[in-house]
């Protein structure tokens, strides 16, 4: 009995580690985002303050993204503006790619797929496949650039029907925890 117990103690870390490694290795590309972030940015909505969190949910099958952007007053919005959205990174096993789905307070729902990843894996570009509740033909692009382990730069671009992408907003986020 003692030999079986010792054998179990020796083997169990290998079994546990190998199971965790497979799931954890799937998320290596996006794991640097996990945490709490704050930053400043701007663009078409004006200058703003950003708060964002990325966290694993549902047994590490998804990464949930919660974003709140608070923009300074402008002539169009004299009291300022608050934008919120919730998103989810997921992995599509059939297509062998990461997806991003965003749900915006304005009722837009955008589904993206990864379009490109830089050789150093520090710049990731998502292109929209579909956008709900907006006229047909619009496209969206999210570009994430990992400046360091504690800094992210995100550029959100929109393309009107039959036009090229144009920057809508750009933000630099700094890790809080």
Q: Which CATH number is 77's domain given? A: 2.40.128.20
Determine the Cα–Cα distance for residues 70 and 84; give it in Å rounded to an integer.
Answer: 9
How high does pLDDT run on average in the chain? 90
Domain-embedded: residue 17: no
Question: Is 2 contained in some domain?
Answer: no
Domain annotation covers residue 9: no
pLDDT in the model for residue 22: 64
Selection from 13-17, 20-24, 62-66 with the highest mean pLDDT: 62-66
Burial class (CB in 10 A: 0-12, 13-18, 19+), 138: middle
Looking at the domain assignment, is residue 117 inside a domain?
yes
Taken in order 92, 100, 152, 160, the sign of the CA dihedral is positive
Domain membership flag for residue 13:
no
Domain count, the chain: 1
Lowest mean pLDDT across 16-25, 56-65, 68-77, 156-165: 16-25
The answer to whether position 134 is within a domain reads yes
Asked whether residue 1 is domain-assigned, the answer is: no
In a domain, 154, yes or no: yes
Residue 4 confidence (pLDDT): 53
How many whole angstroms separate alpha carbon 73 and alpha carbon 47?
9
Banded model confidence at residue 24, pLDDT cuts 50, 70, 90: confident
pLDDT confidence band for 7 (50 / 70 / 90)? very low
Separation between Cα atoms, residue 91 and residue 115, nearest integer Å: 14
Q: How confident is the model at residue 25 (pLDDT cuts 50, 70, 90)?
A: confident
> pTM for the full model?
0.85
| Domain enclosing residue 117, as ranges | 32-175
Q: What is the pLDDT of residues 61-82, one digit of tens each?
A: 999 999 999 999 988 889 999 9
89 φ, ψ (degrees, to nearest 5) = -85, 135
């Amino acid at each position: 009995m003692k030999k079986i117990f010792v054998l179990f103690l020796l083997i169990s870390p290998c079994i546990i580690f190998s199971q965790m490694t497979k799931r954890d290795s799937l998320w290596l590309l996006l794991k640097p985002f996990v945490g709490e972030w704050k930053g400043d940015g701007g663009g078409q909505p004006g200058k703003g303050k950003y708060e964002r969190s990325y966290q694993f949910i549902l047994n590490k099958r998804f990464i949930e993204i919660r974003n709140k952007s608070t923009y300074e007053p402008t002539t169009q919005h004299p009291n300022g503006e608050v934008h919120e959205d919730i998103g989810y990174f997921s992995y599509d096993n059939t297509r062998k790619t990461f997806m991003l789905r965003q749900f915006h307070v304005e009722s837009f729902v955008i589904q993206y797929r990864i379009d490109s990843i830089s050789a150093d894996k520090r710049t990731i570009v998502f292109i929209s496949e579909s956008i709900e509740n907006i006229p047909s033909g619009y496209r969206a692009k999210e570009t994430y650039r990992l400046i360091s382990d504690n800094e992210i730069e995100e550029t959100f671009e929109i393309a009107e029907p039959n036009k090229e992408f144009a920057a809508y907003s750009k933000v630099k986020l700094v890790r809080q925890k």
